[in-house]
Amino acid sequence: MALTGRAGLLAALGALLVLAAPDPPMAVLGVALLLAALVVIDLLFAGGVRGLRFHRDGERLVRLGESVTVGLVVENPGRRRVRGVVRDAWPPSAGSAPRHLRVDVPSGQRRRLVTTLTPTRRGDREAVTVTVRSLGPLGLAARQGSHVVPWSVRVLPPFLSRKHLPGKLARLRELDGRHPALVRGQGTEFDSLREYVVGDDVRSIDWRASARRSDVVVRTWRPERDRRVLIVLDTGRTSAGRVGVAPGVAPRVAPLPGQASGWPRLDWSMDAALLLAALASRAGDRVDFLAYDRTVRAWLSGASRTDLLSSLVNAMAPIEAELVEADSPGMVAAVLARAKRRCLVVLLTDVNAAAMEEGLLPVLPRLSSRHTVLVAAVADPRVAAMASGRGTAEQVYDAAAAERLRGERRRITARLRGQGVEVVDALPEDIAPALADAYLALKAAGRL
Amino acid sequence: MSTVTAPSSASTSPTTRSMWRGGRGILLVGLLVLVTALVPVLLSSPGTEGRPLDPGDSSDVGAKALAQLLGGRGVSVERVDSVSALISAAGPDSQLLIGDTDFLSEADARRIAGSGQDRLIVGAVPHLDVLAGGLLVKEHVRTRSREPRCDLRAATGAGSAHLGGVSFTAPAGGAGCYPAAGHPTLVRYTTGGRTVTVVGDGAFMTNLRLAEDGNAALAMNLAGARPRLIWLVAPEQWDPTLAGPEGRSLGDLIPSGVSWAVVQLAVAVGVVALWRGRRLGPVVAERLPVVVRAAETVEGRGRLYRARRARDRAAPALRAAAIDRLAPRLGLPPTAAPDEVVAATAARTGLDAREVRATLYGAVPADDGGLVALAGYLDTLERQVRDS
């Protein structure tokens, strides 16, 4: 049960009655009894809460930064009307609104209530409880009860870098030779012969074929196709660090001073991985996905080109960075076990000197001897800002610390390149296009 | 996307039965605690609390032993608990004992002082200036066994006794005994034809201390000076209401309805508290991912450099970064020797080679100002190489 403000008001007004009454002690008793009687009557005549039935409908998936509506159907099989408020409780980061819903369901009828969710972070959000407070006819007291009405909404990565996709696809078409500008395809695989049209590069004329026919024929080239790209996401501790500014999603609560409002490296890496996957699938390559820290967190293989992206965001959505050191030998073993044929292994991790030297560097040759390896790391803009600090001694000391870190990154990068590994080290906003460019460059060079 | 009807709901509110099942253990334990707390209280005799210096009290702080001793010596002890009873009981052959009497008002003190009886005042009672005019309280002293050091018969006959509490400055002509730091804790003097005896503390008269030292003798000598001893104690139920001239206190003047209305308002506050205190459903907890900035380690290292003034670490880091950026611009490999870098930089910028060497490979700056200047030089050098 629950009381309402009216009951409090009534009790306060009772004080006036007591003041005026000839026998105050009896008046206090009388007011208390009257109030109790009214509350009991109200509770007796309030609609039953326990018997209510609920159903949900609505969306199951939402991109981070967007809103969805989830419907809640309240069915009242009881004899009395249920009038009051309903709270459809969701975890705070589901961003549910409004907090309370007014409800008025006559006996035997049903009503649909709508809750809007605007999630503030990625992952699965489960509905918690539905609590109903059913007021009595006098509005003095209410019956209250909770129900569990299961529903979950999966919050997908926002794929912000899809704005870069048209530009990268245009470059891919350029490689392909299918560009409207009729540029000679830069691919390395012979595609077909076709008739010469004005504007074609004369160097691509196939004289032998032209001699056989009465027309001038050019060769067209296309980039290699049906290669394999394996995207490996490191979900260890280095991926938990927050960098940059969380894009799009405005924080509902202002972050505390000195507290991060940024996005974990993991999310930036996912964004880059999505752009790469979209690009590679359009380019005709097969994309597999592995998330690994000490065990396999997610494994996606053999998705068809049409539903690759949706499978990928679904696989990525529940992944969070684990606060453990990533097991690099295990990761390499997992990759080797899964990639039988030669493929491009894109490793999304952090170029962290301590973690790299002890973890990945010793075992990387096993991987790079069989596959083309591309390491992509998200750099921290805060470090760049610190490195340019000048003026006071404090800023210069910070700058020295930042330069030391950047020096270590450069050293690791140089060692990786020395092992024949491609490295992309870019700021959060640039990592996705930079990774796509690196992929296109590899493709153009025929190194896949 | 998908529109699916979810499985039906289930109520999670506790039923009466589940509440009884879940709560009966707690209820049982609560009842047990209550019973074990109540039984000793109910079994023990009431009124065990001591009443200090009460001739009818047999606890440690009471003075029943002294009263009985006095009775045995033929001194009649009359216990009174109000000033009016004290005045009416007082006769020419009586002595008044005023002990634990915090309730005395100034008017009461004047009535006692004007009654014209010998007085024995125990402890620093209120209105001492009225009850024992001319006496000055000096300071608080510890209660312990003290020697009389005076020629008062009552004291010298008893010998050492537990005294202390407060020390006094005796008025002219008074006798002071049991001194603490030179000031007596027992003073006897005569004012208005009446003997007034003041002791700083009543511990020597209590049941606990009476048998020690010369306490009993001193107490007998002081309290048994007259055949009748009128002993004033605090009343059992002391009514602190300050009655007005017509005997009506402030409380009497307020209509009874007001206090009951306040009771009713308290009830209303309780109802409002119940209203506001009932939450609509449980608090929702959520496991959130850890929030840690990636730059935290770098910032920590910067603070460490700052705290230790680690110029010998900071300067090489800044120089190495500058050289790493300069070398590609100068067309040198990253592994170029210092001499090559200095020569190439000097050639590119036209600066003096020694100056360039001092900037890129010089000594560690001697102070923070030097470090800041070095950072500036490196920036300038890089800019010159870039712009040339």
For A192-219, how does the pLDDT look when each residue is reduced to its tens digit (9 = 90+)?
A: 778 888 877 788 788 888 888 888 888 7
Residue A113 has pLDDT above 90, yes or no: yes
Measured CA to CA, the distance from residue B153 to residue B133 in angstroms comes to 23
B12 touches chain A (CB under 8 A): yes
- Which backbone phi and psi does B359 adopt, to 5 degrees? -75, -45
Tell me the pLDDT band of A221, cut-offs 50, 70 and 90.
Answer: low
Chain A residue with Cα closest to B315: A400
Residue A252 has pLDDT above 60, yes or no: no
Give me the count of residues in chain B: 388
**pLDDT for residue B157:** 83
Provide the 10 A C-beta neighbour count for residue A430: 19
Please compute Rg for chain B using Cα positions. Answer: 45
Residues B83 and B175 in one domain: yes
Measured CA to CA, the distance from residue B280 to residue A101 in angstroms comes to 11
Closest Cα partner for A264 from A205, A349, A188?
Answer: A349
Please check whether residue A132 is in contact with residue A49, taking contact to mean a CB–CB distance below 8 angstroms. yes
Best mutation target, B3, B258, B267, B312, to test chain A (most A CBs within 10 A):
B267
- Which backbone phi and psi does B138 adopt, to 5 degrees? -95, -65
For residues B194-212, give the mean pLDDT. 85
- Which backbone phi and psi does A428 adopt, to 5 degrees? -50, -45
Measured CA to CA, the distance from residue A304 to residue A291 in angstroms comes to 19
Render pLDDT for B87-120 as a digit per residue (tens, 0 to 9).
888 777 888 888 766 777 788 888 888 777 788 8
Measured CA to CA, the distance from residue A316 to residue A249 in angstroms comes to 18
In the numeric block, the tokens 């990945």 are attached to A360
Q: Which residues in B lie closer than 8 A to residue A128 (C-beta atoms)?
A: 282, 284
Chain B residue with Cα closest to A101: B280
> Distance from CA of residue A89 to its chain's centroid?
22
**pLDDT for residue B179:** 86
**pLDDT for residue A197:** 82
Residue-range definition of the domain harbouring residue B198: 64-232
A448 against B233, higher pLDDT: B233
For residues A394-402, give the mean pLDDT. 93
Measured CA to CA, the distance from residue A137 to residue A131 in angstroms comes to 19
* Identity of the residue numbered B86: L
**pLDDT for residue B239:** 54
Please check whether residue B124 is in contact with residue B185, taking contact to mean a CB–CB distance below 8 angstroms. no
In the numeric block, the tokens 């549910």 are attached to A96
Collapsing DSSP to helix, strand or coil, A187 comes out as coil
Best mutation target, B11, B265, B335, B368, to test chain A (most A CBs within 10 A):
B11
In a domain, B203, yes or no: yes
Tell me the pLDDT band of A190, cut-offs 50, 70 and 90.
Answer: low
- Candidate ranges B27-31, B194-198, B349-353; pick with highest mean pLDDT: B27-31
Please check whether residue B286 is in contact with residue A364, taking contact to mean a CB–CB distance below 8 angstroms. no
Please check whether residue B3 is in contact with residue A69, taking contact to mean a CB–CB distance below 8 angstroms. no
In a domain, B273, yes or no: no
CATH for A1-156? Answer: 2.60.40.10
Chain B residue with Cα closest to A255: B291
Contact flag B305-A392 (C-beta cutoff 8 Å): no
Measured CA to CA, the distance from residue B274 to residue B276 in angstroms comes to 6
Q: Which residues in B lie closer than 8 A to residue A129 (C-beta atoms)?
A: 12, 281-282
**pLDDT for residue A180:** 41
Please check whether residue A263 is in contact with residue A242, taking contact to mean a CB–CB distance below 8 angstroms. yes
Residues B114 and B201 in one domain: yes
Please check whether residue B90 is in contact with residue B229, taking contact to mean a CB–CB distance below 8 angstroms. no
B302 touches chain A (CB under 8 A): yes
**Of B208, B232, B256, the domain-final residue:** B232
In a domain, B249, yes or no: no
Give me the count of residues in chain A: 448
Residue A397 has pLDDT above 90, yes or no: yes
Where does residue A400 rank: exposed (0-12), middle (13-18), buried (19+ CB within 10 A)? buried
For residues A234-242, give the mean pLDDT. 90
Q: Which residues in A lie closer than 8 A to residue B364 (C-beta atoms)?
A: none
Residues B226 and B305 in one domain: no
B3 touches chain A (CB under 8 A): yes
Measured CA to CA, the distance from residue B33 to residue B5 in angstroms comes to 52
Collapsing DSSP to helix, strand or coil, A185 comes out as coil
**pLDDT for residue B370:** 92
| Torsion sign (Cα): B100, B106, B107, B110 | positive
**pLDDT for residue A268:** 93
**Of B199, B216, B232, the domain-final residue:** B232
In the numeric block, the tokens 């009981």 are attached to B89
Q: Which of residues 233-292 of B touch A (CB under 8 A)?
A: 256-265, 267-268, 270-272, 274-275, 278, 280-282, 284, 286, 288-292
Q: Which residues in A lie closer than 8 A to residue B376 (C-beta atoms)?
A: 390
SS (H, E, C) B197-266: EEECCCHHHCCCCCCCCCHHHHHHHHHCCCCEEEEECCCCCCCCCCCCCCCCCHHHHCCHHHHHHHHHHH
Residue B279 has pLDDT above 70, yes or no: yes
Render pLDDT for A6-32 as a digit per residue (tens, 0 to 9).
999 999 999 999 988 888 889 999 999
Q: Which residues in B lie closer than 8 A to residue A39 (C-beta atoms)?
A: none
Measured CA to CA, the distance from residue A389 to residue B372 in angstroms comes to 10
Measured CA to CA, the distance from residue A392 to residue A437 in angstroms comes to 39
Contact flag B6-A85 (C-beta cutoff 8 Å): no
**pLDDT for residue B46:** 56
In a domain, B379, yes or no: yes
> How far apart, in Å, do the first and last CA atoms of chain A sit?
68
Residues B144 and B224 in one domain: yes
Question: H or E element: which one contains A290?
Answer: strand A286-292
**pLDDT for residue B98:** 84
What separation in angstroms does the CA of A177 have from each of A81, A174, A445? 71, 5, 15
Contacts of residue B228, defined as CB under 8 A and 6 or more positions apart, other chains included, come to: B75, B76, B78, B91, B93, B94, B95
- Token pair of B192 as six digits: 């208005």
Domain with CATH 3.40.50.410 in chain A: 228-444
How many distinct structural domains can be found in chain B?
A: 2
Please check whether residue A272 is in contact with residue A348, taking contact to mean a CB–CB distance below 8 angstroms. yes
* Identity of the residue numbered A236: G
In this structure, the strands spanning A189-195 and A61-63 are unpaired
B46 against B320, higher pLDDT: B320
Residue A178 has pLDDT above 60, yes or no: no
* Identity of the residue numbered A26: M
Measured CA to CA, the distance from residue A402 to residue A392 in angstroms comes to 15
Name the minimum distance, in Å, from the CA of A238 to any CA of chain B. Answer: 8
Residue B294 has pLDDT above 70, yes or no: yes
Measured CA to CA, the distance from residue B94 to residue B116 in angstroms comes to 10
Question: H or E element: which one contains A311?
Answer: helix A308-316
Chain A residue with Cα closest to B308: A397
**pLDDT for residue A33:** 94
**pLDDT for residue A217:** 85
Render pLDDT for A289-331 as a digit per residue (tens, 0 to 9).
999 999 999 999 988 888 999 999 999 999 999 889 889 999 9
In this structure, the strands spanning A286-292 and A228-234 are parallel
Largest CA distance in chain A: 126
Residues B68 and B216 in one domain: yes
Name the minimum distance, in Å, from the CA of B316 to any CA of chain A. Answer: 8
B164 against A439, higher pLDDT: A439
Q: Which CATH number fits domain A228-444: 3.40.50.970, 3.40.50.410, 1.10.150.120, 3.20.20.70?
A: 3.40.50.410
Collapsing DSSP to helix, strand or coil, A116 comes out as strand
Closest Cα partner for B197 from B207, B188, B206?
Answer: B188
Best mutation target, B2, B12, B280, to test chain A (most A CBs within 10 A):
B280
* Identity of the residue numbered A137: P
* B181 torsion bin: left (phi>0), alpha (psi -120 to 50), beta (else): left
Closest Cα partner for B130 from B154, B98, B152, B166?
Answer: B98
Q: Which of residues 129-148 of B touch A (CB under 8 A)?
A: none
**pLDDT for residue A174:** 79
Q: How is chain A split among helix, strand and coil, in percent rounded to 5? A: 40, 25, 35
Question: H or E element: which one contains B196?
Answer: strand B194-199
Residue B386 has pLDDT above 70, yes or no: yes
Contact flag A242-B293 (C-beta cutoff 8 Å): yes
**pLDDT for residue B35:** 93
To the nearest whole percent, how much of chain A has pLDDT over 70? 92
Contact flag B11-A397 (C-beta cutoff 8 Å): no
Quick one: DSSP state of residue B9?
P
Measured CA to CA, the distance from residue B239 to residue A352 in angstroms comes to 80
Contact flag A59-B2 (C-beta cutoff 8 Å): yes
In a domain, B149, yes or no: yes
**Of B175, B209, B232, the domain-final residue:** B232
Closest Cα partner for B232 from B92, B54, B50, B57?
Answer: B54
| Torsion sign (Cα): A42, A43, A49, A51 | negative
Q: Which residues in B lie closer than 8 A to residue A92 (C-beta atoms)?
A: 284, 286
Contacts of residue A211, defined as CB under 8 A and 6 or more positions apart, other chains included, come to: none
In the numeric block, the tokens 């125990």 are attached to B122
In a domain, B309, yes or no: yes
Contacts of residue A249, defined as CB under 8 A and 6 or more positions apart, other chains included, come to: A64, A65, A120, A121, A158
**pLDDT for residue B31:** 95
**pLDDT for residue A77:** 92
What separation in angstroms does the CA of A146 have from each of A51, A213, A434? 11, 82, 51
Render pLDDT for B237-269 as a digit per residue (tens, 0 to 9).
655 555 455 556 677 777 778 888 999 999 999
**pLDDT for residue A181:** 38
In this structure, the strands spanning A141-148 and A130-135 are antiparallel
**pLDDT for residue A256:** 45
Please check whether residue B200 is in contact with residue B124, taking contact to mean a CB–CB distance below 8 angstroms. yes
**pLDDT for residue B237:** 62
Best mutation target, B4, B16, B264, B278, to test chain A (most A CBs within 10 A):
B264
Q: Which residues in A lie closer than 8 A to residue B12 (C-beta atoms)?
A: 129, 145-148
A24 against A445, higher pLDDT: A24
A186 against A241, higher pLDDT: A241
Name the minimum distance, in Å, from the CA of B95 to any CA of chain A. Answer: 50
Q: Which of residues 354-373 of B touch A (CB under 8 A)?
A: 368-369, 371-372
Best mutation target, A33, A235, A397, to test chain B (most B CBs within 10 A):
A397
- The ipTM (two decimal places) reads 0.75
Measured CA to CA, the distance from residue A3 to residue B273 in angstroms comes to 9
Domain with CATH 2.60.40.10 in chain A: 1-156
For residues B122-136, give the mean pLDDT. 78
